Amino acid sequence: MTARIGLAVAVVAVGLLAMSAPAMAAEGPAGEPPQEQMPYKAVGLGFVGALAIAASAYAVARVGSAACGAIAERPEVAARVLVLVALAEGLGVIAFALAILLYVL
């Protein structure tokens, strides 16, 4: 069941990124995109960024709950599982920074 959800999310993300591709490909004077295509670029990048951040939140929830169980059983593994939670959280931060950079560029 979760594989189908993951596949659906991936298909939607690729579709939304493909929608924003024409807005990123067209250039106006001095390399600037035409103003009528700017909203499409913003919407596409917003959806893709939101999807990546939602996936990161899902990963943090799954890894965090497993980390709580592991720490309850063996407190000495707290540092290791905290690193795993930080890695999942880092995906959301990178997705947010990438969305901002792509919008600005």
Domains belonging to the chain, first-starting first, are 2-10+37-104 (1.20.20)
Do the beta carbons of residue 99 and residue 48 sit within 8 Å? yes
Other CB atoms within 10 Å distance of the CB of residue 103: 15
Q: List the single range of 8-12, 68-72, 82-86 with lowest mean pLDDT.
A: 8-12
The residue with tokens 């309850």 is 72
Please give the structure tokens belonging to residue 41.
């670029």
Q: What is the pLDDT of residue 87?
A: 87
In sequence order, the 6+-apart residues with CB closer than 8 A to the CB of 53 are 92, 95, 96
* Mean pLDDT computed over 52-57: 86
Instruction: Check residue 27 and give its pLDDT.
Output: 55
The pLDDT assigned to 53 comes to 84
**What DSSP letter does each residue of 45-66 carry, written as one string?**
HHHHHHHHHHHHHHHHHHHHHH
